[in-house]
Amino acid sequence: MQIGTLRLSALPRGAAAMLAVALPLAAGVQAKAAEAQKNDKESVSGPIIVTASPLPVRLDELAAPVLRLDQIDIDESGTSALGALLGEKPGVTQSSFAAGASRPIIRGMDNNRVRVQENGISAGGVSALSEDHGVPIDPLSATSIEVVRGPATLRYGSEAIGGVVNVLNDRIPSARPDGGYTVHGGASYDSVDQGKQAYGALNAATGNLVWHADGFRRKTSDYDTPQGEQFNTWTDTSGVAGGASVLLDNGYAGASVTHYDSEYGIPAPEDPTDPVHIDMRQTKLQVRSGLSFGGWVKGLNLSGGYGDYRHDEITLSGVTGSTFKNKEWEGRAEFLHASVGPFAGAFGVQYHHRDLSASGEGGELLAPTNSSSVAGFLFEEMPLGDTLSLQMAGRVEHVKVEGTALDTATITEYSVSRDFTPLSGSAGLVWDLDGGWVTSATFQAAQRAPKAPELFSKGPHEATETFEIGDAALNKETAYSAELSARREGRGYSFAASLFHVSFDDFIYKALTGATCDDDYASCTDAGGTGTELNQVRYAQRDATFYGFELEGKVALLRTDIATYGLTGQADYVRAKFDGGTNVPRIPPMRIGAGVYLEADRFMAKAGFLHAFKQDKLGPNETETAGYTNVSAVLRYTLPEQMTGGASVKISVIGQNLLDADIRNHVSFKKNDVLLPGRNFRLVASVDF
């Protein structure tokens, strides 16, 4: 495997000029960093990144870059979908099928290559089955969100080749709150869709018990675009959760119950007089325990969950066209061991079972399936000197998938049971260099078994206006990846850059064939579609290569007694081709952005732009997508505590798409028919005490 060389000629036209904004920023960061004292790194402790290692580590101790969003970022986002929350971060985009359904896409990899989880346990649901299905986790439930790549992903599952999105919250408290209780809450209003939301969370201790409760409600109308109102983009989402933990001398153990309800419209319906909306519900039980010991096993982390999910696809006239049900069990046990020679780390086991079924028109798409897997994993760290360390991970997994496939030659159904044994390994080197620089190199070979929808799909899906055909003979997918990264952080500056290359054997993808079908397979045969309503999609496999880069920086240019002024910048790029030279479909375009900021004791302001270039590197049967520039701004003020009785109260005003630009997302199946929201002003108030 050879890491691809990035050439300026390979970038979109105009990119070199835009890079002129980011590269001086990087140089400015380096110049400012050179002025910093050698102990700058020691003064920046940073948050503990819990997803990326079983050991407590900081960001600068990891072999692969980690993206982390904290509470204030989540509060100010105002979105009901994880994809929309993360979609403008370097290396991450969103599927943006509907306002209530948008999954994160990491480096052009989506669905079954990106694992979305809550506190380490699968989110459940069927969001990876189709882009119109939302993730049954609302960002408002989170205290922080981490996006992780590299060796640590092998702790969670083979579907994490692209990365892991871990939503963290306090629904199972692990410690006693300061002062005996904590409260967090807030409310917001959006002008673009008359959206209103409110939320609150409470942790309280009674003796050695810590209780948790939270709830939220969000309601939006169809949002505005520069071309007018985007029909059927309304949302109505709510959730409630309760949990408790008992605090022990050597740790904690607890459980939580969550109920999630979401209704949202599907834009650009086939029949505008009878549009479809999704009514989604999930009840989820989670258990978790963290214990420490004094022997060779230093600690034990146990977690498990059961989710009962259902959604109905309902027309305006009240007809339920499809119903999808998903019952999912998952359990993990991770043992932290004492040092074995130079190695410190953890090993564990994981079990997962899923019953997925559909009825109505959905039953034509996918007959009942069940999938199960059992896996063992290992994560180890070893120092190789004062400034060099090695991180390694391995995973062996056995997967069984059972369902009903379609013989496309005879148009008859037959039962299938497939067994796979994915094997994965990863290694990363971390150099802690003089001057505060941390550089790393990671190498990974990871295998993924095909999922039930990829094997057994065989019918129409009205919400996406596609006729999807799986392939029961699909093989395991194997990804060989390499990544180089460098980062530096100190007082008033930060800089991070990464270069990646992924080579896939038997890459599984949805191929738009160019044929059109009606609702029955007779109109959608191997010879080609004879219908007019639905686009034919076939699951197929080809070798493919992904490569690209990410860049992000922040530097303080001026400090006064009352404020700090500075610049920010970012850029990302991914290129994906099949062997033979054709392009992988639905790959995001190159993006570049920059901004200015002001930070004072109780006031923060920032403004900037993110420019997406035209995407003309097209897969079969794709169309070109124009570029756009999204200009945004944030103003935030923290009220004096003497005015609020000691509570921390923040008032924020956020402006999005301030130029009211036409924004179409190239990776969306609906991009020709659906614009993303136009100019929006959001007012947010939050309180902590």
> How far is residue 165's CA from residue 578's CA, in Å, rounded to a whole number?
26
Residue 205 lies in a domain: no
Residue 210 lies in a domain: no
DSSP state for residue 60 in the 8-state scheme = G
Q: How many CA atoms are closer than 13 Å to the CA of 98, on its beta-carbon side?
A: 31
> How far is residue 525's CA from residue 245's CA, in Å, rounded to a whole number?
56
DSSP state for residue 32 in the 8-state scheme = H
What six digits make up the tokens of 632? 């945004």
Please tell me whether the overall predicted TM-score, pTM, comes out greater than 0.95 for this model.
Answer: no
Residue 680 lies in a domain: yes
> How far is residue 666's CA from residue 10's CA, in Å, rounded to a whole number?
19
Percent over 70 (pLDDT), the chain = 91
> What are the angstrom distances between the C-alpha of 145 and each of 70, 140, 629, 685?
7, 11, 26, 20
> How far is residue 322's CA from residue 595's CA, in Å, rounded to a whole number?
45
Residue 212 lies in a domain: no
Query: 666, 670, 493, 665: which is closest to 36 by C-alpha?
Result: 493
pLDDT of residue 436: 79
Amino acid at residue number 45? S
Residue 276 belongs to domain with CATH number:
2.40.170.20
Query: 482, 437, 387, 609: which is closest to 26 by C-alpha?
Result: 437
pLDDT of residue 53: 73
Residues of the chain with pLDDT under 70: 1-47, 57-65, 526-529
Question: Among positive and negative, which fits the CA dihedral 653, 658, 664, 670?
Answer: positive
Residue 161 lies in a domain: yes
> What are the angstrom distances between the C-alpha of 186 and each of 121, 214, 308, 549?
27, 12, 29, 37
pLDDT of residue 235: 96
Residue 520 lies in a domain: yes
Residue 591 lies in a domain: yes
> How far is residue 514's CA from residue 537's CA, in Å, rounded to a whole number?
8
Q: What is the DSSP string of 308-361?
A: EEEEEEEETTS-EEEEEEEEEEEEEEEEEEEEETTEEEEEEEEEEEEEEEEEEH
Alpha helices in 78-159 (DSSP H): 82-86
Domains: count for the chain: 1
* CA 624 to centroid of chain Cα atoms: 25
Write out the residue range of the structural domain in which residue 175 sits: 8-194+239-688
3-state SS class at 47:
coil
Cβ neighbours of residue 27 closer than 8 Å, sequence gap 6 or more? none
Burial class (CB in 10 A: 0-12, 13-18, 19+), 360: middle
> How far is residue 395's CA from residue 519's CA, in Å, rounded to a whole number?
41
pLDDT of residue 34: 39
Residue 229 lies in a domain: no
H or E segment at 481?
strand 477-490
Would you give the end-to-end CA distance of the chain in angstroms? 53
pLDDT of residue 527: 67
